Amino acid sequence: MKIVAGNSNRPLADAISQYLKLPPARSQVKRFADMEVFVEIQENVRGQDVFVIQSTSFPANDNMMELLILIDALKRSSARRITAVLPYYGYARQDRKPGPRTPISAKLVANLIERAGADRVLTVDLHAGQIQGFFDIPTDNLFAAPVMVRDIEDQYGTENLVVVSPDVGGVVRARALAKRIDVPIAICDKRRERPGESEVMNVIGDVEGKRCILIDDIVDSGGTIVNAADALLEKGATEVVCYVTHGVLSGGAVSRIQNSRLKALVITDSILPTAAVQAARNIRVLSIAPLLGEAILRTSREESVSSLFY
């Protein structure tokens, strides 16, 4: 087995390698003067089971090209099997046609990864589960929920707790988390006026006097969770903590979170945290390196990965 790391999230790749007690394979990923990507695998991978670790986060297109070229280099180096490990799957929010003459970019990305030569895909908390069906190769969609559950129990306990979905679309995710810790759920009814902006209109469920755990897969501008926190506190919640798998946090999101009434935003390191995220007083980062490391180990050994979901 070999681990090959792209440049998108080196600290996570190093943490996975430490978990596996396996140093990353020597490789060079650099840019020419015109920003073309150049890759060289600097050790023998012939006949090896290779795992390429690369989040396709910002800059999404650069990181995507790195991933594709790494896969191509490994394919041409006679690797036996190549697994694309994507802690964060970019373009996942473009999973359907929201209007006429629009693309389904999540499907296009799946096609690119397959055509580059990947034999398997391993990712975490896809924005929509049906994206697995965009691939014609085995695809494992891991969940960060077990990592979050342990942190919730350690940091906050489960007494007087309610899990809240920030919108109707996230109810399945919220219900699954609530079932794990045996607490009730509530839902924020959200009306989005335009992309990137949202307005919470109502709260469905009893949150008065409760400690609320908001749960979502992606936080980008931060507007949804900030508005949801305000609505919950106005309905009598005592405090609001938000758990999100992928901290995209673009634009002024970090400042918006810091100035909000959220007690804390807890994200994973599926995307490399920026300096602003690391310095924020109410943003905390959980590592999913053990989760991904164990999934990689089991995949290499042809063992069950589904038991990691529970």
Average pLDDT over residues 86-102: 93
Asked, for residue 151, whether it belongs to a domain, the answer is yes
pTM of the model: 0.91
Regarding whether 124 and 23 lie in a shared domain, the answer is yes
The residue out of 142, 174, 194 marking a domain boundary is 142
Q: Name the active-site residue from 190, 210, 235, 263.
A: 190
Whether 197 and 253 map to the same domain: the answer is yes
Percent of the chain with pLDDT over 70: 95
> Is residue 150 located within the same domain as residue 186?
yes
Residue 193 has pLDDT above 80, yes or no: no
Binding region for ATP = 34-36, 93-94
Residues 187 and 244 occupy one common structural domain: yes
Number of folded domains that form the chain: 2
- Domain containing 165 equals 145-287
Residue 191 has pLDDT above 90, yes or no: no
Last residue of a domain, one of 92, 124, 142: 142
| Per-residue pLDDT tens over the stretch 205-262 | 999 999 999 999 999 999 889 989 999 999 999 999 999 999 999 989 999 999 999 9
CATH of the domain at 98: 3.40.50.2020
Classify residue 182: in a domain, yes or no: yes
Domain match, 14 and 68 both: yes
Active site annotation includes 235? no
Cα distance between residue 86 and residue 304, in whole Å: 19
Residue 294 lies in a domain: no
Q: Are 84 and 67 in contact (CB under 8 A)?
A: yes
Residues 127 and 187 in one domain: no
Tell me, yes or no, whether 57 lies in a domain: yes
What pLDDT sits at residue 199?
63
- Residue 29's SS3 state is strand
Q: Are residues 174 and 252 in the same domain?
A: yes
Same domain as 150, residue 51: no
Is residue 134 domain-shared with residue 54, that is, in the same domain? yes
Identify whether 310 is part of a domain. no
Residues 135 and 162 in one domain: no
Average pLDDT, the chain: 92
Cα distance between residue 25 and residue 23, in whole Å: 6
Query: Does residue 200 register a pLDDT over 60?
Result: no
Residue 308 has pLDDT above 80, yes or no: no
For the residues of 238-292, what is the DSSP string, one character each?
SEEEEEEEEE---TTHHHHHHTSS-SEEEEETTSPPPHHHHH-TTEEEE--HHHH
Does the bond joining 59 to the residue before it have cis omega, within 30 degrees of 0?
yes
Picking from 97, 120, 142, the residue at the C-terminal end of a domain is 142
The answer on 200 and 126 residing in a single domain is: no
pLDDT given at position 158: 86
33 pLDDT band, cuts 50/70/90, is very high
> Does residue 60 carry a pLDDT above 90?
yes
The SS3 assignment for 218 reads strand
Which residues participate in the annotated binding site? Answer: 34-36, 93-94, 127, 167, 192, 216, 220-224
Q: pLDDT tens for residues 64-86?
A: 999 999 999 999 999 999 999 99
Residue 230 lies in a domain: yes
Q: Are 161 and 71 in the same domain? A: no
Cα radius of gyration (the chain):
20
